[in-house]
Structure 1
Amino acid sequence: MRAQEEVPWSPQGKLEWKDFKGDVPLGAKAAATTASGISYSFSTFYEKGEMKVDYQVQAFFYPTKSWYRPQICNDITLLHEQLHFDISEVFARKMDREMSETKFTKNIKQEVRVLYKRILKELDVFQRRYDLETDFSRNIEKQKLWQKQINSLLKGESSS
């Protein structure tokens, strides 16, 4: 990956340890942290008197806010961190889908903000559940199950 402030998710762009450029915070107990999230932009225009919405929703990885401890991390840890980024993409797609299905009013700015905040809350709950169920990558069997589930979601085989 490139040395950027934010890196957009792509199916080919797998994380490597060199992408984690942040400093390990003092007192941090985790082996690694993946800073990822969702960003959106939109504009409106009118066509035949009807409001249309042009929008973009994207998942990003933030290299300078992501870090790891080389002495205790391995390929399994990296896979776990990659899945955090992939989960962000699953929820970016969910927001994209909901944006396309929503009939917005003239209060679109507020409506999109409410939708975005709800998606971020759902994303946070999902990420926390992932960490708890996999014991932060230490439960290999659960890690494999989550990998399969997220890959299915990314392939569009089921919904989040």
Structure 2
Amino acid sequence: MFTFTLFLSLWARIFTPMPDPGVPLIADTSNGNDFAAQVVWSESRRLTWEDFKALPDNDNPHHALTAANLAVNAKCKDGKFTYIVNCVFLPEQSWTKNNSSEKLLAHEQLHFDLTEVHARQLRRDLEALSCGTLKASLNPTVANAFKNWKAEQDAFDKACRHGLDKQEQLLWAQDITQRLHSLEMYR
């Protein structure tokens, strides 16, 4: 299962007027103040059950929950647009009821990998922006990225029935891997 977690300061900025150039346009989450413990996606660093630190939600019928996010920091300074997009896993909001299932862990890893696909797509989309187009383009670009990311996470869970349909999950895993490779230049 996947939960869609947003940094509230990001959404607050999306729906408010843009600040003056030189001021961060989207909240800087790199210092960890909003989420002290986060794991930035890495091809070499896979999730382990030790990363899932929250208490399980006993009212939730699923066996695990991966909380992940697209952490975005963008700004214009001296007429230059810069941005950082990180795919992060939030251990303090992620939980499992079954920390011995490798199949379940593989499903949760795919949620995190799919988030990285969307981080790379957002980096690609942000590359086309400039300080001159930022006011009109940044908020819709980021909002669309979050909307597409959430929709695809939901489609993934629905298609593979939260990991129960092994064949469908294998197809998704292959697709996610292929997309990560095709978006390698936006790593």
* Structure 2 segments unaligned to the other structure (5+ residues): 1-35
Where 1:54 maps in the other structure, the secondary structure is: strand
Counterpart among 76, 82, 102 of residue 44 in structure 1: 76
After superposition, what is the alpha-carbon deviation per residue over 1:77-123, rounded to whole angstroms, capped at 9, x for unaligned?
111100000111000101100000234436x3563232111111100
Amino acid at match of 1:88: T
Deviation (angstroms), 1:144: 0.6
Partner in structure 1 of residue 95 of structure 2 = 67
Partner in structure 2 of residue 78 of structure 1 = 105
Amino acid at match of 1:53: F
Contact 1:33-1:67 within 8 A present in 2 as well = yes
Partner in structure 2 of residue 17 of structure 1 = 49
Partner in structure 1 of residue 64 of structure 2 = 32
* Structure 1 segments unaligned to the other structure (5+ residues): none
Deviation (angstroms), 1:52: 1.8
Amino acid at match of 1:142: E
Rounded Cα–Cα distance in structure 2 between residues aligned with 1:140 and 1:154: 21
Where 2:77 maps in the other structure, the secondary structure is: strand
Q: Judging changes above 3 Å, is the alpha-carbon distance between structure 1 residues 84 and 114 closer, same or farther for their aligned structure 2 residues?
A: same
Aligned length: 149
Rounded Cα–Cα distance in structure 2 between residues aligned with 1:77 and 1:143: 11
**Aligned alpha-carbon RMSD (Å):** 1.9
Deviation (angstroms), 1:26: 3.5
Rounded Cα–Cα distance in structure 1 between residues aligned with 2:91 and 2:104: 16
Partner in structure 1 of residue 143 of structure 2 = 117
Partner in structure 1 of residue 159 of structure 2 = 133
Where 1:147 maps in the other structure, the secondary structure is: helix
Deviation (angstroms), 1:45: 2.6
Deviates further, 109-118 or 32-41 = 109-118
Where 1:155 maps in the other structure, the secondary structure is: helix
Amino acid at match of 2:125: E
Rounded Cα–Cα distance in structure 1 between residues aligned with 2:85 and 2:135: 15
Deviation (angstroms), 1:157: 6.7
Counterpart among 69, 76, 81 of residue 53 in structure 1: 81
